[in-house]
């Protein structure tokens, strides 16, 4: 069972998870003391951000429409149709947009990091960097971490806007909710902290995706088969890290009794 989930035995998986944790510490130190390669960073920014934009928007719009279908029909039966926009906004900003955007990026970008760096490892290109006195962390890892940490919050904000637009179309087109009612509801329910929490979560998720993908790539062994196993395991591990960290971030950010619904009514 453990091999189905991680691609390796649990002992090997925990060892590589520890290596990823150590890599995260090295990244933190190198960000302040090492050299940032601008060209590599710009290249990774383009790979993570613009290249992921279309699939992120498609995912967000679908989620917004599906969520609105499920919520609107129930709320209208309770006479609470005026709160649909606000509830959708809360769901997107606090959970759906950051998590689903991170999942999309983990599947698309995190796997690419693991495959690319894993191939470099098994073909001894990483060793060649050491011979050239180039630190792989500065040259390969830091640009990817910066790209994910900067681009994921932007993609998340775009996801929120796209998801709200999809929900707006469904609410007004299928369920006859007034446009002004939907927009006013979202405006009343949401505040600056909701958008800030989405950006903070996305920033953390981006760091996890990049570090896990790079770490699994750098610790790859076993040729082409090892590259495939590392790629699969990196995505599974990144998804687990996203879900677990999402719990702790939500617990820290939203303690106590909420007031958004009472404020919006």
For residue range 217-262, what is the model confidence (pLDDT) as tens digits?
A: 999 988 888 898 999 999 999 999 999 999 999 999 987 665 555 5
How far, in Å, CA of 17 to CA of 234, rounded?
A: 10
For residue range 73-98, what is the model confidence (pLDDT) as tens digits?
A: 888 888 888 899 999 999 999 999 99
How far, in Å, CA of 144 to CA of 148, rounded?
A: 6
For residue range 170-215, what is the model confidence (pLDDT) as tens digits?
A: 999 999 899 999 999 999 999 899 999 999 999 999 999 999 999 9
What is the structure's pLDDT at 197?
A: 94
Total number of residues shown for the chain: 265
Share the mean pLDDT of the chain.
90
How far, in Å, CA of 63 to CA of 69, rounded?
A: 10
Whether the predicted pLDDT of 112 surpasses 70: yes
DSSP 136-199: HIIIIIHHHHHHHHHHHHHHHHHHHHHHHHHHHHHHHHTS---HHHHHHHHHHH--HHHHHHHH
Domain layout of the chain by residue ranges: 38-253
Angle at the Cα of 216 (from 228 to 59), degrees rounded to 5?
75
């Amino acid at each position: 069972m453990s091999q189905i989930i991680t691609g390796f035995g649990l002992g090997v998986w925990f060892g590589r998870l520890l290596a990823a944790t150590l890599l995260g510490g090295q990244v933190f130190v190198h960000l302040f003391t090492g050299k940032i390669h601008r060209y590599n960073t710009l290249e990774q920014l383009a790979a993570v951000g613009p290249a992921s934009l279309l699939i992120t928007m498609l995912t967000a719009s679908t989620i917004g429409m599906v969520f609105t279908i499920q919520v609107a029909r129930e709320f209208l039966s309770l006479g609470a149709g005026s709160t649909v926009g606000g509830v959708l906004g809360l769901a997107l900003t606090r959970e759906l947009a950051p998590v689903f955007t991170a999942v999309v990026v983990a599947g698309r970008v995190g796997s690419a990091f693991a495959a690319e760096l894993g191939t470099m490892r098994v073909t001894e290109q990483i060793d060649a960097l050491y011979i050239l006195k180039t630190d792989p962390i500065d040259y390969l890892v830091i640009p990817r971490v910066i790209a994910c940490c900067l681009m994921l919050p932007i993609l998340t904000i775009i996801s929120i806007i796209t998801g709200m637009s999809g929900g707006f179309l469904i609410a007004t087109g299928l369920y006859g909710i007034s446009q002004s009612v939907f927009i006013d509801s979202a405006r009343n329910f949401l505040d600056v902290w909701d958008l800030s929490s989405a950006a903070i979560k996305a920033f953390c998720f981006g760091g996890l995706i990049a570090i896990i993908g790079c770490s699994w790539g750098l610790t790859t062994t076993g040729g082409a088969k090892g590259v495939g196993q590392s790629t699969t395991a990196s995505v599974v591990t990144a998804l687990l890290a996203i879900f677990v960290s999402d719990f702790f971030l939500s617990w820290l950010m939203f303690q106590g009794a909420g007031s958004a619904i009472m404020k919006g009514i």
